[in-house]
């Protein structure tokens, strides 16, 4: 995996916008990292890089936000069981041709497709993040 270090939220967003250009329709990207690492910031950057103008907000309560079928942004932090995720149909979007970005994917691990990409964000200090991709 490659690694980059960012010194601000803006740098992470800018890097994510560039990273977005390496993504293909149907890609499923697992965004790993602790609370406050910058997974949602990264997602905002990806959306910008894809030319999505709608503002990306954290889908903490909705579990998944759909941006025109082009980007599906998940936050599975509050998912209580794989059964719940299945009932919500969260796996239905993996092969709909959009790009899936998934925060807290460990909570839906059995539902994930075999081929995924992974981005790991580590908090080094207040404003510094190490991003492995």
Ligand X SMILES: Nc1ncnc2c1ncn2[C@@H]1O[C@H](COP(=O)(O)OP(=O)(O)O)[C@@H](O)[C@H]1O
**8 is an interface residue for ligand X by CB under 6 A:** yes
Among 18, 36, 109, 113, contact with ligand X (rule: CB under 6 A): 36
Residues of span 101-130 touching ligand X by CB under 6 A? 103, 127, 129
**73 is an interface residue for ligand X by CB under 6 A:** no
Q: How far apart are CA 110 and CA 9, in angstroms?
A: 32
* Cβ distance to ligand X smaller for residue 62 or 96: 62
Q: How far apart are CA 36 and CA 88, in angstroms?
A: 26
Q: How far apart are CA 49 and CA 88, in angstroms?
A: 28
Q: Give the x/- contact pattern for Mg ion in 112-131, rule: CB under 5 A.
A: --------------------
Token pair of 59 as six digits: 């889908």
Q: How far apart are CA 87 and CA 68, in angstroms?
A: 22
Selected range binding ligand X among 8-16, 62-70, 84-92, 104-112, rule: CB under 6 A: 8-16
Please count the other Cβ atoms lying within 10 Å of the Cβ belonging to residue 35. Answer: 9
Q: State the residues that interact with ligand X by CB under 6 A.
A: 6-9, 11-12, 33, 35-41, 103, 127, 129
């Amino acid at each position: 995996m490659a690694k980059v270090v960012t010194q601000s939220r803006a740098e992470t967003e800018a890097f994510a916008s560039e990273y977005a250009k390496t993504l293909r329709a149907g890609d499923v990207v697992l965004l790993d990292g602790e609370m406050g690492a910058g997974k949602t910031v990264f997602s905002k950057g990806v959306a910008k890089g894809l030319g999505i103008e709608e503002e990306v907000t954290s889908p903490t309560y909705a579990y998944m936000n759909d941006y025109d079928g082009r980007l599906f942004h998940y936050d599975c932090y509050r998912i209580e069981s794989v059964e719940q995720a299945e009932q919500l149909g969260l796996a239905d979007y993996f092969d709909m041709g959009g790009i899936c970005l998934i925060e807290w994917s460990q909570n839906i691990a059995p539902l994930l497709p075999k081929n995924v990409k992974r981005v790991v964000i580590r908090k080094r200090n207040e404003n510094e993040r190490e991003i492995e991709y």
